[in-house]
Amino acid sequence: MSESLDELFLFGEEKMEKAIASLKREFGSIRSGRANPMILDKVMVDYYGVPTQLRQMAQVTVQEGTTLAISPYDKSTIKEIEKAIIKAEIGITPNNDGTCIRLNFPPLTEERRREIVKDVKKLGEEAKVAVRNVRRDMTDDLKKIEKAENLPEDTVKDNQDSIQKLTDKYTGIIDCAVAEKEKEVMTV
């Protein structure tokens, strides 16, 4: 295999890995009835005029599986942290006792679980689209390499098959991740 073909597969696989990583980050911020600190990853707090990630400003612990306790390192920021949580619209009202903020995760209704599963499937489909876009780009680049290096037809065909196998591998990983998250959401 030529160097440019090696690079083609290296970059293609790297982009597909990023699509999977992005999907898993998204899944982390989806409520499943259990307390998960990752739901706070997108919460940005105004810390002396600088938007700062909540998890950099406070210790976040899970209590009894259904409660997140947020203990700010700087107690004077507790009001700002509370405002940021409300503004982030994560669907949970913070309880502030002056030194710690608690987020109680209520059990999800059957109807809400089904809505979340739809969202999970939609995110999975978006990740598959991203992987297929990478496949399309790899195929286009393969055609350019074919013209530039005058590759034999069977080499091109073999590489197209390899691109498809790589795509199938990553769509399979996405399907497994979606099924796993779906099971987690539907488990009461």
| Rounded percentage of the chain residues whose pLDDT exceeds 70 | 97
Mean pLDDT throughout 22-50?
82
Please check the confidence at residue 63 and state whether its pLDDT lies above 90: no
Range 37-104 has CATH code 3.30.1360.40: yes
What does the pLDDT look like over 135-144, one tens digit per residue?
999 999 999 9
Mean pLDDT throughout 112-125?
92
The pLDDT of residue 39 is 80
Look at the pTM and tell me if it is higher than 0.85.
no
Please check the confidence at residue 100 and state whether its pLDDT lies above 70: yes
Q: Which CATH superfamily is domain 3-29+109-186 in?
A: Ribosome-recycling factor (1.10.132.20)
| Residue 2 pLDDT grade (very low, low, confident, very high; cuts 50, 70, 90) | low
> For the chain, how far is it from start to end, CA to CA, in angstroms?
51
For the chain, give every domain's residue range: 3-29+109-186, 37-104
Q: For the purposes of burial, counting CB atoms within 10 Å of the CB of 124, is it exposed (0-12), middle (13-18) or buried (19 or more)?
A: buried
